[in-house]
Amino acid sequence: MEVVVAVIVGVLFAVGIYLILTQDLLRIVLGTSLLTHAVHLLLMAMSMLKTGAAPLLGRGKEEFVDPLPQALILTSIVINFGITAFFLVLSYRAYQKLDTTDMDRMRSESSKHRGRRR
């Protein structure tokens, strides 16, 4: 099972990095969000994919699951939710202001701007 998850993590990382290397702002945002998914799966896989009871004492069970990675993933998901939302809104505002979602055209416009000022 760990091997399958490891392969999934690898694929997600590859797709995420590919998307980030493209020109389009929206794809880049999606790429970062895929990367964070990959990392969350990685967190889960690193703590061993065991089956067991919830870690509550006095229930007569002996096998427990480590709750810490799940707490970490939950925290990280919330943070990334916030950042992705902010990033999307910012991209939309940047599109309104700069009239493009193409990273190259944003940059070329800025260098033109700089050239004129010199």
Partner 1 sequence: MNNWVVAPLLIPLFTAVLLIFLHNKLKLQRWISLLSSLLNVAVAIFLMVQVRTTGIQTLNMSGWAPPYGIVLVADMFAVLLVLAASIVTACCLWYSFRGIDEERERHYFYSLVHFMIAGVNGSFLTGDLFNLFVCFELMLMSSYALIVLGGTKRQFRETLHYILINVLSSTLFVASVAYLYGATGTLNLAHLSMRIAESGQTGPITVVSALLLVVFSVKAGLFLFFWLPGSYGAPPAAISALFGALLTKVGMYALIRTFTLIFYHEVQVTHMLIGTMAVATIILGGFGAVSQTNVNRILGYNVIASIGFISLALAVSNEDALKGAVFYLVHDMIVKALLFLLAGILVAETGTERINRMGGVLSHSPLLGWMFLIASLAVVGIPPLSGFPGKLLIIQGSLENGQYIVAAAGVLLTLMLLYSLIKIFILGFWGKARRPREAHWKQSRKLLLASAPLMMLIILLGVFAEPVMPYMQRAADILTDPSIYIQAVFKE
Positions that interact with partner 1 (CB under 8 A):
20, 25, 28, 32, 35-36, 39-40, 42-43, 46-47, 68-69, 72, 75-76, 79, 82-83, 86-87, 90-91, 93-94, 97-98, 103, 106-107, 110, 117
**Residue 79 corresponds to which amino acid?**
I
User: Minimum distance between the CB of residue 53 and partner 1, rounded to whole angstroms?
Assistant: 19
- For the beta carbon of residue 21, count every other beta carbon within 10 angstroms: 10
Token duo for residue 78: 């919330």
Token duo for residue 73: 């993933």
20/65 with CB nearer partner 1: 20
65/98 with CB nearer partner 1: 98
Q: Which residues pair with 24 in a beta bridge?
A: 102
Token duo for residue 31: 């790429």
